[in-house]
Amino acid sequence: MDFPFDLISDEEYERQRTLHEPLTQAVRELIDAGIRTDLDEAGVREARAAIEAVTERLRSVQRSQTSTLRHADTGRPLAWANPAVGVRNAIAPPMDIKHEDTGRCWAEFELGVAYEGPPGLVHGGICALVLDHILGEAASDGLTKPLFTGTITLRYLRGTPLGRLRAEAFVERSEGIKTYARGYLGDTDGWSVEADGVFIRPAWARES
């Protein structure tokens, strides 16, 4: 047993990515503009009506495909909708995660005002989102193995400034159904948050 999935060719993947990445990026800019705007009431109402019209148009044709798509070549899931890495999810920064041969993962990405907690700093919960995701990627070998987070501990060493950031993660060890991963988030001044996670292979995936 596994999650349902369909394979997608490299060509179709690139076609969809090229089409949807700029749309998602436009929505990210809109999120930012919505936070910062001081437009008058009539202007805000017009903006809202225009957005609702776009939403209606996008919804006029919906994906029937709701199962996970996997690369025909690599077996890696596409995670279009994922709130950390999804190229079709405007909530995602998105993290573009690189997998090294050693199993270590890393990503460099930009977090703007939409991810702010204390003034000028990334919200602690967004640091947790980013680290939970990259530890999970390392533990599951790029999401190719079914694994759930069991426990994760985050240590905040200092505030994480908004702007360009880097996250890394790697597997420390595996014991039976448990995989122990560790990771870091920070900027050019060094790490600002450390994370340790225990990831667990679910019961239904232990037979195979």
Where in 27-66 is the site for a second copy (CB under 8 A)? Answer: 27, 29-31, 33-41, 43-44, 46-48, 50-55, 57-65
Pairing of β 178-187 and β 163-175: antiparallel
CB-nearer residue toward a second copy: 23 or 74: 23
Least Cβ distance, residue 101 to a second copy (angstroms)? 26
Least Cβ distance, residue 152 to a second copy (angstroms)? 5
CB-nearer residue toward a second copy: 74 or 151: 151
Pairing of β 163-175 and β 190-200: unpaired
Instruction: Determine which residue in the list 12, 26, 98, 163 makes contact with a second copy, applying CB under 8 A.
Output: 26
CB-nearer residue toward a second copy: 16 or 103: 16
CA distances from 12 to 8, 60, 200 (A): 6, 22, 33
Cα 93 to chain centroid distance, Å, stands at 7
Q: Residue 91 and residue 83: Cα distance in Å, rounded?
A: 6
Residue pair 156/124 in contact by the 8 Å Cβ criterion: yes
Binding mask 169-208 for a second copy (x = CB under 8 A): ----------------------------------------
Residue pair 153/196 in contact by the 8 Å Cβ criterion: yes
Q: Would you give the DSSP letter of residue 142?
A: T
CB-nearer residue toward a second copy: 129 or 165: 129
Amino acid at 111: L
Q: Residue 97 and residue 204: Cα distance in Å, rounded?
A: 27
Q: Residue 114 and residue 98: Cα distance in Å, rounded?
A: 24
What 3-state class would DSSP assign to 127?
helix
| Interface positions, 103-162, toward a second copy (CB under 8 A) | 113-119, 123-126, 128-133, 136, 148-156, 159
**83 near a second copy (CB under 8 A):** yes
| Interface positions, 87-106, toward a second copy (CB under 8 A) | 88-91
Least Cβ distance, residue 74 to a second copy (angstroms)? 19
Instruction: Considering only the stretches 22-30, 161-169, 171-179, 182-190, report the one whose residues sit in contact with a second copy under the rule CB under 8 A.
Output: 22-30
CB-nearer residue toward a second copy: 170 or 185: 185
